[in-house]
């Protein structure tokens, strides 16, 4: 359990998703340990960089992780189009005489959805509402594995690899301190080439959209992966501006009950009892139906609204709205399936990534040359005390304190679900609230 303690000390969380504390995820015994190297969201690039440049670090970390969870098989799953990454990983496996395996997938979306990935690799469907542990599996992201390697050496999570692309002068992958402003990241890419723009934080399917005037609030966290600058009126941005009232009215007037949203749903295709078209019908007709609870098992991948629906409706946003309402009422999903079988047409209904990019009107960025890799010095960071699932960390520094890079500044409450937070630069603490602001030039300014 020494490694679990090192992971706790380093503040490692899932770097590619919601930030689930890694020490909790690895505190189990499984048959399969799978690394999610698919990077399935269109345009994302940082995991590809890490697999190409840090393959030995990944394999060494995986060997140690496998000991903790007692995995019989350790598998890195990535797309068969990642030729350089495959070669780098194969060479590392050979040179280290490792038993880590490589599993190759087609270029489809959402290959990186945890439950889809587990089905692809193991052939096992995770029960609806369940986690990979239910089928003897634990899944970790590429960047998380690299952070675990650093944790083994005693280094905390204080930096993140983030791609800055889209309508910027010099698209680039940055290695930057956590707490760096998103505006500074865009400046490091030469700035936006548009006067009026919005930003997608994360991927275009599941990421968060932020308008230019609100960017001053945004900073890099442990889960940041990508900053995509697009026109303010881009299709992906406009889609997310639709109000829930407008969505319901559109569902009432425009839903043709074609059921494409269901037929293309990745969770439906692996055997889960979710039928978005029935949810839309129920909402449109103001009916009270048990199918509403199916919204709780939606993975929010966006296939339904950004790819499948011919009427440009938003089943995903409807499901998110219903999830929140159901949770407010204390409703949890109850799985009554006795058997889970993937749909016989699943292979034929996978969403080709290239076609998805075209549907999203992102073709102009698909083959954009992105510079690898730039490390930058930052004089001020604003580090959130909650960058993970669970309780916020408790600040253990005060305004005026001098801190050094890597110092513990936010502590996880013992026994709670959370993660430690560390200073990402040297400097003086100038604010402690729900974030800790550190300024390396504070003394000079005074």
Domain containing 412 — which CATH number? 2.40.50
Please check whether residue 17 lies inside any domain of the structure.
yes
Residues 279-316 as b or e (16 or more Cβ within 10 Å = b): bbbbbbeeeeeebbbbbbbbbbbbbbbbbbbeeebbbb
Pair (163, 106) in one structural domain: no
Residue 345 CB partners (closer than 8 Å, separation 6+): 263, 269
Please check whether residue 15 lies inside any domain of the structure.
yes
pLDDT, position 445: 44
Pair (354, 371) in one structural domain: no
Task: Count CA atoms within 13 Å of residue 408 on its CB side.
Answer: 13
Pair (369, 386) in one structural domain: no
Pair (292, 413) in one structural domain: no
Please check whether residue 171 lies inside any domain of the structure.
yes
Please check whether residue 239 lies inside any domain of the structure.
no
Closest to 37 (Cα-Cα) out of 49, 28, 27, 25: 49
pLDDT beneath 50: ranges in the chain: 445-446
Tell me the per-residue pLDDT of 412-444, one tens digit each, with 9 for 90 and over: 988 889 999 999 999 999 999 999 999 998 655
Tell me the per-residue pLDDT of 184-228, one tens digit each, with 9 for 90 and over: 999 999 999 999 999 999 999 999 999 999 999 999 999 999 999
Which uninterrupted H or E stretch holds 88? helix 83-95
Decide which of 96, 128, 152 is a domain's last residue.
152
Pair (110, 203) in one structural domain: no
Which uninterrupted H or E stretch holds 429? strand 427-432
Both tokens of 9, joined, read 């000390």
Decide which of 302, 328, 359 is a domain's last residue.
359
Pair (102, 205) in one structural domain: no
Q: What CA–CA distance (Å, rounded) separates 126 from 102? A: 21
Please check whether residue 397 lies inside any domain of the structure.
yes
Pair (373, 347) in one structural domain: no
Pair (365, 218) in one structural domain: yes
pLDDT, position 287: 63
Please check whether residue 57 lies inside any domain of the structure.
yes
pLDDT, position 249: 86
Pair (10, 143) in one structural domain: yes
- What CATH number has the domain bearing residue 111? 3.40.50.11540
Pair (16, 133) in one structural domain: yes
Please say whether the beta carbons of 410 and 396 come within 8 A. Answer: yes
Pair (252, 292) in one structural domain: yes
What is the count of structural domains for the chain? 4
pLDDT, position 1: 63
Write out the residue range of the structural domain in which residue 328 sits.
244-359
**Pairing mode, strands 371-375 and 172-177:** parallel
Pair (330, 222) in one structural domain: no
Q: 129 exposed, middle or buried (CB, 10 Å; 0-12, 13-18, 19+)?
A: middle
Q: What CA–CA distance (Å, rounded) separates 324 from 320? A: 6
């Amino acid at each position: 359990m020494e490694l679990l303690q090192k992971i706790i000390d380093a503040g490692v969380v899932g770097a590619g998703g919601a930030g689930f504390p890694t020490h909790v995820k690895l505190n189990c015994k499984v048959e399969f340990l799978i690394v999610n190297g698919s990077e399935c969201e269109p345009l994302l690039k940082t995991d590809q960089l890490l697999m190409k440049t840090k393959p030995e670090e990944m394999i060494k970390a995986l060997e140690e992780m496998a000991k903790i969870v007692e995995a019989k098989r350790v598998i890195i799953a990535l797309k068969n189009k990642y030729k350089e990454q495959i070669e780098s990983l194969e060479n590392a496996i050979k040179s280290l005489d490792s038993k880590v395996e490589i599993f190759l997938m087609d270029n489809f979306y959402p290959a990186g959805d945890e439950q889809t990935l587990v089905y692809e690799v193991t052939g096992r469907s995770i029960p609806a509402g369940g986690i990979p542990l239910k089928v003897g599996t634990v899944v970790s992201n590429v960047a998380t594995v690299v952070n675990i390697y650093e944790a083994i050496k005693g280094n905390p999570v204080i930096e993140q690899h983030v791609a800055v692309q889209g309508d910027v002068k010099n698209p680039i992958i940055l290695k930057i301190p956590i707490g760096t402003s998103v505006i500074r990241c865009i400046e490091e890419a030469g700035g936006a080439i548009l006067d009026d723009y919005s930003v997608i934080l994360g991927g275009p399917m599941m990421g968060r959209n932020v308008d230019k005037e609100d960017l001053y609030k945004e900073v890099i966290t442990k889960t940041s992966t990508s900053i995509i600058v697009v026109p303010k009126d881009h299709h992906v941005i406009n889609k997310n501006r639709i109000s829930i009232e407008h969505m319901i009215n559109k569902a009432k007037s425009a839903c043709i009950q074609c059921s494409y949203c269901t037929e293309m749903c990745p969770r439906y295709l692996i055997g889960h009892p979710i039928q978005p078209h029935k949810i839309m019908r129920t909402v449109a007709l103001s009916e009270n139906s048990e199918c509403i609870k199916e919204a709780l098992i939606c993975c929010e991948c966006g296939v339904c609204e950004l790819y499948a629906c011919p009427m440009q409706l938003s089943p995903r946003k409807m499901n998110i709205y219903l999830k929140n309402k159901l949770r407010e009422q204390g409703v949890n999903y109850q799985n009554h399936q006795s058997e889970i079988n993937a749909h016989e047409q699943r292979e034929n209904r996978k969403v080709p990534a290239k076609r998805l990019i075209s549907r999203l009107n992102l073709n102009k960025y698909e083959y954009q040359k992105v510079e690898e890799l730039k490390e930058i010095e930052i004089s001020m960071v604003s580090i959130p005390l909650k960058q993970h699932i669970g309780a916020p960390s408790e600040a253990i520094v005060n305004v005026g304190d001098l801190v050094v890079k890597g110092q513990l500044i936010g502590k996880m409450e013992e026994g709670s679900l959370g993660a430690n937070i560390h200073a990402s630069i040297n400097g003086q603490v100038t604010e402690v609230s729900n974030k800790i602001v550190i300024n390396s030039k504070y003394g000079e300014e005074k």
